[in-house]
Amino acid sequence: MGDAGAVTYRRTGRPRRAAGSPRTLTGLLAGGLVALAVALVVAWFVAGRIGSAGPGPAMLVWHGVAAVLAVLAQAQADRRTGLPAALAMGAVVVITVVVLAVQWLA
């Protein structure tokens, strides 16, 4: 039959990271902030359509800015090693904690 349907993979030279690494956790946190921001926009839209109170503009802005900052920090954490990566991962955790504490626990 030959190799007509064969898939070849090119090695990138980067080491593979364990599934339980801190980068995985901070990636989940950043992704969670994005999902939360999107869910709040949807809730705002639906609440406006049915005439009920929904999330306010301040909450939408806070979550949007936090999601963008967390994704940017996570991108830096994924591209770097050592102290710069650790600081970027720490930034993702701090951003997540601050947004949840200020917007949800206050």
Q: Which of 61, 58, 63, 72 is nearest to 96 (CA)?
A: 63
For residue 104, the model assigns a pLDDT of 87
Could you read off the pLDDT of 68-100 as tens digits, one per residue?
A: 999 999 999 999 989 999 999 999 999 999 999
- pTM here is 0.77
Token pair for residue 91?
């930034």
pLDDT > 80? residue 15: no
For residue 42, the model assigns a pLDDT of 95
pLDDT > 60? residue 19: no
For residue 38, the model assigns a pLDDT of 96
Tell me the residue type at 25: L
Q: Alpha-carbon distance 98 to 69, whole Å?
A: 12
Q: Which of 67, 45, 68 is nearest to 57 (CA)?
A: 45
pLDDT band at 11; cut points 50, 70, 90: low
Token pair for residue 25?
């956790």
Q: Which of 61, 64, 84 is nearest to 74 (CA)?
A: 84
Q: What is the mean pLDDT of the chain?
A: 86
SS3 content of the chain, % helix, strand, coil (to 5): 70, 0, 30
DSSP 28-96: HHHHHHHHHHHHHHHHHHHHHHHT-----HHHHHHHHHHHHHHHHHHHHHHH--HHHHHHHHHHHHHHH
